[in-house]
Structure 1
């Protein structure tokens, strides 16, 4: 690795490191190297340890200039810090930034780096999908994977008109997908991308790395809908909400919606099981949102944290589990002014922007 500025770090002997030596970063520094991949990569691991003093050192990993969330290296022995990635074959630039050094007397905070390990091959299997949104700025996402829902779709009091315009959905030219909700002179427009008829998930893991918008009346979501919705209707098709943020980006919902065997008097058409609660602001950085489906179980999470595990055994005898052997397609959208998020007001930022770094599906 090349360290900048020069002198901010050095290689030192360490018999516990994998090669008998490690790279130490002593002051504010960035260590950079190139990674050559012969096949797509699905995960990356950095072996690191910290020298602790009044807190742990923090490392921020960036791949091709895109930074992940800072990670506290709170162990004084070597440990692997792993992250999900979606890298195509070729050469990529990896950097590790150390930004919180401290030194006073015999007390110092420093970061040690041992090795970088890349896991390849996970996106090359039959039925696997990876879209890292490479393309010219202002162009539409790949029609191989994506289609558009357009029109009012004004259920739950929503105000937006979904379009297929590049004003609402486009690539940014830097490897990101942009979905934007706009306030216009005649109302609100937004984007709703779907993989319907193109990417259907049964068992496996579906995930996306997203930076969410936030604002009064803004409700971004990443969710799945049963592919048979047009024939059996909702909620018989089933719905899995990986992430909904109707109350700003600091309060989350993950939910499964399914049908009743016999709808109770006064009940809504669907039953719901899920989790909700406060969360660190999801609009300040990218996070990986994922769902893992297997027979009788749906697990939903963010980054390395599981938010909810839902099983067929959790249901009552009057609730139908419709999530086994059920193809489902993905939806990415921003709704405006629904019953949960309320109406936009003077504090609402426009445009409201969702950035998607990558989308992937790895079948079981």
Structure 2
């Protein structure tokens, strides 16, 4: 999820549900939260759980998260089509739900949400586990990722970017996720990525856990505790990855990578996040 612009808003939204307790998408349909899928433990040998958000309660925890609002600069640097609003974030049954809708707002034809932990929660190294169900459809682009905490002073890509999970929907791509890093090399952007493909089904069917294991020497990517990609970060020009990073969770619509929605795309679409956990070595 290439990143070129940041703007923040402290507005927070509350959960909206129908009478039987099922989350309401805001477009006349309800959200089905899967009850199946992979899970990971709450502890690992030799590591301590230093931070987690289980998304309990009725509203996003403002001690952890801030909403970003609008369409950024050049569609957040990627020609994305959505307008980010706090109203597209809800909490239900211990899950964060980010909803992408087809609706006109702020001069755009789609809305969604993007939340960040900038200036609130930042981390250097550890194991990060995020349990989530992904949306689907041509033009949909969910991401669970991180930017260097020095972004405001050095800009992108010099701050570094760690994409824990990205998925681009449509054209049979909902069974594949990507893990990538971006950094500055000799004054230009460099990137290195890998991908993981399910043997059956899609990432919208049930929960999966997207992880990185990150230290001063490397970053490893895992899906459901299976490693699929690694980068050696010891070269001097990858020093970005020996500094603090903050989280970004969002669902984009359209953009350079997934392309625009088409007649096959349906809305609303939801990314459902059960938890995010950060473990660090004792």
Q: Answer whether TM exceeds 0.5 for this pair.
A: yes
CA distance in 2, matches of 1:185, 1:203: 40
Q: Flag the 1:291–1:323 CA change in 2: closer, same or farther, 3 A.
A: farther
**2:123 counterpart (186, 201, 220):** 201
Does the Cα contact within 8 Å between 2:147 and 2:162 map onto a contact in 1? yes
Q: Flag the 1:201–1:183 CA change in 2: closer, same or farther, 3 A.
A: same
RMSD of equivalent CA atoms: 2.2
CA distance in 2, matches of 1:185, 1:312: 43
Structure 1 residue matching 2:78: 3-state secondary structure: helix
Alignment of 1:158-237 (within 5 A): 158-165=80-87, 168-172=88-92, 174-186=93-105, 187-237=109-159
CA distance in 2, matches of 1:320, 1:338: 29
Partner residue, 2:192: 273
Task: Count residues with an aligned counterpart.
Answer: 237
Say yes or no: does 1:320 pair with 2:237: yes
Partner residue, 2:28: none
Query: Higher relative CO (CA 8 A, sep ≥ 6), structure 1 or 2?
Result: 2
Partner residue, 1:359: 276
Partner residue, 2:37: 68
Structure 2 residue matching 1:161: 3-state secondary structure: strand
CA distance in 2, matches of 1:210, 1:324: 25
Structure 2 residue matching 1:331: 3-state secondary structure: strand
Q: How far off is 1:207 after superposition?
A: 1.7
Question: 1:224-260: CA deviations, max 9, x gaps?
Answer: 1001011000000000111111244223221110101
Q: Flag the 1:161–1:185 CA change in 2: closer, same or farther, 3 A.
A: closer
Question: 1:117-151: CA deviations, max 9, x gaps?
Answer: xx5999976xx111111113xxx211121111111
Larger strand fraction of residues: 1
Partner residue, 1:301: 222
Query: Any unmatched runs of 5+ in structure 1?
Result: 1-64, 70-82, 87-118, 264-268
Structure 2 residue matching 1:321: 3-state secondary structure: helix
Does the Cα contact within 8 Å between 1:226 and 1:328 map onto a contact in 2? yes
Does the Cα contact within 8 Å between 2:211 and 2:225 map onto a contact in 1? no
**2:232 counterpart (280, 297, 311):** 311
Partner residue, 2:40: 84
Q: TM-score, structure 1 length as denominator?
A: 0.61
Partner residue, 1:343: 260
Q: TM-score, structure 2 length as denominator?
A: 0.78
Question: 1:242-289: CA deviations, max 9, x gaps?
Answer: 11112442232211101012x4xxxxx311111135434111110111
Partner residue, 2:26: none
Q: How far off is 1:66 after superposition?
A: 4.0
Does the Cα contact within 8 Å between 1:181 and 1:334 map onto a contact in 2? yes
Give runs of ≥4 in structure 1 deviating > 6 Å.
120-124
Structure 1 residue matching 2:239: 3-state secondary structure: coil
Q: Flag the 1:299–1:277 CA change in 2: closer, same or farther, 3 A.
A: closer
Q: Flag the 1:260–1:121 CA change in 2: closer, same or farther, 3 A.
A: closer
